[in-house]
Amino acid sequence: MSEIIAIAKKFLPQETITNIQEYGSGNINNTFLVTTDSAEEPYYILQRLNTKVFSKPELVMDNICLVSEHIIGKLSPNDCWRIPRILLTENRQHHYLDSQGCFWRAMSFIDNALCLETVQNLEQAQEIGYGLGMFHRLISDLPVHQLGDTLPGFHITPSYLKNYYQVQKTVSIASSVEVNYGFNFIKERAKSVGVLETAKAQGILPIRPIHGDPKINNILLERDSKKAVAMIDLDTVKPGLIHYDLGDCLRSGCNLSGEETPNWEQVKFDTEIAREILQGYLAIAQDFLTDYDYQYFYDGIRLIAFELGLRFFTDYLAGNLYFKTDYPEHNLIRALVQFKLTESIENQQAIIRKIIFS
């Protein structure tokens, strides 16, 4: 821990650090909560960025700084929306490279906020949707060409399918009920993976700045007011389709068992929660949406759940190289959770479409 304290000091040279502990449940980076003896601002977030995933970490930080400045410039003093402040080192760098070449960054802590793993009630669902809508609105006028692509291929479902075929060819995995379920599930849906990319290529859906990873635990709700107040985890802010974002928000919010449940067979997509998330989102986002956007929302919801299942399944086959895991079959079970969720979305297509257009 003393090495991590020394790294935290690069960003907080004046502070007395009293504690550092691992924090949060992110699947990609290593996150630490830094406690200082400061009365005004006791907490900070320190993160070791996963450079196996983000091969251009400076670009990630450039994007985050750009987006943060853009948002700060648009907020008025009365707005309760918050954005983590990126800390600079004494050399005014937005990151620090340690002696082993690990890439570290630090930011202010959004305090007094709830970070949900599962939605507990309809009010929270509305706020989650509102938070995503607010974020989209705040970044909607940021010219996309100013944003770098921090993760090429991210959310391009046909590319994930191609990668899956390649991995499948090179590995031999013991057959089991779960593995066979996964293989069959993907096979039956392989033809439909191009729906969003085709619409994008045809110019039907515009490229906009997006968050990229707006699962519910990246949207923070203020503890007292219960209002959405911040979006964190801005590593994947990049040009893309808002459908990826809305899909990700709904697939994470409407699975009340949570994406880490071992009871994958019981997973369902809750349409009441979906209604609230969509209502919250549309209350603030409808001004910049087109008719085509609405037409493809259902596809986005279904596809992002399937895509995440495909990504977890492929990572399991490849030997768990991308997502952090706690046990060897972790990614397999996570994949089946997303596949069951996809099935539940498909079975409720008519209801979901009705909610979107109501």
Of these, 26, 131, 133, 280, which contacts ligand ADP (CB under 6 A)? 26
Choose the contact partner of 254 out of Mg ion, ligand GN1, ligand ADP, none; CB within 5 to 8 A by kind. Answer: none
Measured from the CB atom, the residue of 89 and 217 that comes closer to ligand GN1 is: 217
Say if residues 139 and 207 touch (Cβ distance below 8 Å): no
Residue at 48: amino acid letter: R
Q: Label residue 146 left, alpha or beta by phi (over 0 means left) and psi (-120 to 50 means alpha).
A: alpha
Residues at the contact surface with Mg ion, assessed by CB under 5 A:
26, 218, 233
Residue at 136: amino acid letter: H
CA distance linking residue 44 with residue 184, whole number of Å: 45
Residues at the contact surface with ligand GN1, assessed by CB under 6 A:
26-28, 53, 213, 215, 218, 233, 236, 248, 259, 308
Which range binds ligand ADP by CB under 6 A, 108-116, 153-161, 242-250, 265-273?
108-116
DSSP 276-296: HHHHHHHHHHGGG--HHHHHH
Measured from the CB atom, the residue of 189 and 215 that comes closer to ligand GN1 is: 215
Q: How far is the CB of 51 from ligand GN1 (least distance, A)?
A: 12
Measured from the CB atom, the residue of 15 and 197 that comes closer to ligand GN1 is: 197
Measured from the CB atom, the residue of 29 and 157 that comes closer to Mg ion is: 29
Of these, 232, 242, 249, 332, which contacts ligand ADP (CB under 6 A)? 232
Helix (H) or strand (E) holding 221: strand 219-222
- Whole-angstrom CA distances from 163 to 108, 150, 199, 313 are 37, 19, 22, 11
CA distance linking residue 41 with residue 345, whole number of Å: 43
Residues that bind ligand ADP (CB under 6 A): 23-24, 26-29, 31, 45, 84, 107, 109-110, 115, 217-218, 232-233, 235
